[in-house]
Structures are given as structure tokens and as C-alpha cells.
Amino acid sequence: MGEIKQIGFEGLGIGPFDINNVAVSFGNNFAIYWYAIIITCGMILAFIFAMLFAKKVGVTADNVVDCAIWGTPFALIGARLYYILFSLDNFISDSFVDTLKQMIDIRNGGLAIYGGIIFAFITALIVCKIKKIKALAVFDVAALSFLIGQAIGRWGNFVNGEAHGTLCDLPWGMTINGAGPYHPTFLYESLWNIVGFILLLIFTLKLRKHRGETFFGYMIWYGIGRALIEGLRTDSLWLIPESLKSEWGLNFNLRVSQVLSIIIAVAGLILFILARAGVLDRIAEKRALKRAEKEKAKHGSKNNEEYVPVFFSDENSDIENISSDDTADEGKDELIEADSVEEEIPEETDIGYEPEDNAQPDTESATDISAKPSEENDDGTNN
């Protein structure tokens, strides 16, 4: 069961060797494919990294779990739908049942990474909104995690002998069943993602100032790399299906992933500049203030729960914890004022001077001192 291919890098003295795309089979009806195992390993390692790294960007492991539980299945659905959408001619048949079976059969591949990324981030954004999780911080973690998953997942294409490029005469050219050598585009993208992960990890730990910068950096890095590598591939998804292309009389077409990569890279650059300048933080701050005012108006002074804006960090926001109950703070201020009044009343042993003979103590001044509290700063400390 399964398909065996001869794959080698003969210019480097490696192979050719036989690779069966089935890892384990149970009878003739059920098998576990290497593609699925490799993709799953990539997802698990990405999840472990996200759990360990979450605190570095101001989110909790629970936040990661919430987003992963919902994001993972929708990412798989999105990856498949994206692939089907731009290759409909390969799925439509005379029988509706046969068409449906082909659409849901992913054992031999047929997952487009862009569909998975788009669906995963949209799902994560919805979860963040519902649970009031800091969305851009989660996206920063997810961006690094995605690079890990993508770098590993591309080796699933190697096992299937797919996602290779055009013919080349390079030493590392890849041969498949004696044909080639081809550009090993799966390897190019895997290495590109590894380098991107290292660079963005260093940036996040050393240079990141605002939420979203790592995520937008990921958009730039992956968009540029994918746009360049996609131009070498021979199995690209095209923007216009061949049936429509012939019907409309078109003699050109565009690679979907290449166009989308350029758009993502440009958008990422613009958003990175805005995030670096603090523009997105200020926008989020205004939204959080409005939300806090609505909460206060809605619940009045009876609500003692803190309102925590979604996008702010503890260190970057002056309004991270906005309380909808101001009466407690006012009570604290009154106590501070009362304490400061008592502290300002001097005791006789501390005055340090004796009145002259026949001189009467200045009772008016003493009265003024005892009755008048000292001036205080806004933070309750004395001037």
C-alpha cells in the first residue's frame, strides 16, 4: 500500500533511495502517511514553543491553549478549502458523492499553507475578542510558532516527491524517479523559515517595542520568501482555472500564492512601520478608553471587576487596569489625607524651643497648625 518514489541529490552524492509515502498500514483500507506524521510533528513542536515562549510577550499558556484548540481544526479546514478553491478542475466529477470524497481526502496532500494561516489567524482573533486576550501578543507568538511548523511541514512534500521546482543544473538539484534534477523548493522554503525564525526570535527578545511587530515582521519575511520561491515551482495554484482561461480566451495567468505573498509583504511592511511608531498602540488605547467608559456607564459604581483592554501590555500601557469603581480609590485618598493631617500635628517634645519668660504661647498659630493639613502630591506623598 502506498506509493514508492526514488529520490536523490546525486550532485551531492546522496541517493537515489526509495521512499514510501506510507509509514504504517493496517490491512488494505487504512494507512498512516508520512505526510500526516510530519505535519503533526511540526504542529506539536510549534505548540510546545508557544507554550514556553508565551510569557515573554505578555500572554499566558492558557491563552495559547484557547487559541490552539480552536485554531488548529479551522487551519486544516482553511488549508483544504484554499487548495480546492484554486484547483476546482481536479475535483469536479459527474457524481456529487465522488466529488465530495475527493475534496475531503487529504491523505496524498492537497493542503495549501496560506489557507491554513489565514483561517488560523482569523479564528485566533475571534477567540481573543471573546475571551479578552491580547490579540497582537498572541499573533507574535503564533508567528514564531508558524515558522517552526512550516519549516518542518515542508519535509512532508519531500516524502511525497512534490512541491519541487523547475529543472536546474545545481549541485543540490533533486531527482525524482530518475527525472530532473529539479530545484528542491521544499528545501528552500524550509531553510528560509528556519532563518526567519532565528532572526525574528532575536528581534523579539532584544528589539521589540510594541505588540504586533513580530507578527508583521513574519508577514514581511514569509511574504518575500514565498513570492521568490513560488516562481520556481511547477505545481502552483493559478488564479484563473484552466477551464475559464480557455473560455475567456486568455493567454496568461497568475500564481495565486505569488500574488498573495506580495500583498502580504507590502501590508506587513506598512503595519510594521505603524506599530514601531506606536500608532497602533494609540489607536488601541482610544478604543480601550471608550470601552472602559461604556463599562462604567453600564455597571456604575456597583461593578468592582477590572476592565482589561485586549491589546495592551503591562509595561506599555498607562491604562492597563481600568477600574469601573472609583469610590474605592476616593476612599483611599481620604484615608491618606487623614493620616497626613495626624502626622503634621507636632508634639510639644518635638518643637525644640522654650517660650521666653512672661511670653504667652501663640495659641492661634498652634491652632492653625493642627487644623490645616499639609499639601500633598497627587501620589499621596508630602511636598
pLDDT band at 87 (very low <50, low <70, confident <90, very high): confident
User: Do 149 and 242 share a structural domain?
Assistant: yes
Domain containing residue 53 = 36-277
Is pLDDT above 90 for 216?
yes
237 vs 208, residue with greater confidence: 208
Number of domains in the chain: 2
pLDDT of 329 strictly over 60:
no
Report the distance separating Cα 187 and Cα 191, nearest Å: 6
293 part of a folded domain = no
Among residues 261, 277, 293, the one where a domain terminates is 277
Any bridge partners for residue 33, and if so which?
22
Domain boundary among 243, 277, 311: 277
In this model, does residue 342 exceed pLDDT 80? no
Give the per-residue pLDDT at 112: 85
The yes-or-no verdict on residue 7 having pLDDT over 50 is yes
pLDDT of residue 6: 92
> Is the same domain home to 111 and 238?
yes
In a domain, 259, yes or no: yes
Read off the pLDDT of residues 171-206 as tens digits, 9 standing for 90 and up. 999 999 989 899 999 999 999 999 999 999 999 999
Average pLDDT of span 339-349: 44
Core vs surface per residue 80-118: b (16+ CB within 10 A) or e: bbbbbebbeeebeeeeeeeeeeebeebeebbbbbbbbbb
149 domain-assigned: yes
266-293 per-position pLDDT tens digit: 999 999 999 999 888 888 888 878 878 8
pTM of the model: 0.72
Buried b vs exposed e over 215-239: b needs ≥16 C-beta within 10 Å?
bbbbbbbbbbbbbebbebbeebbeb
pLDDT tens, position by position, 141-173: 999 999 999 999 999 889 988 889 999 999 999
Q: What is the pLDDT of residue 220?
A: 97
In a domain, 286, yes or no: no
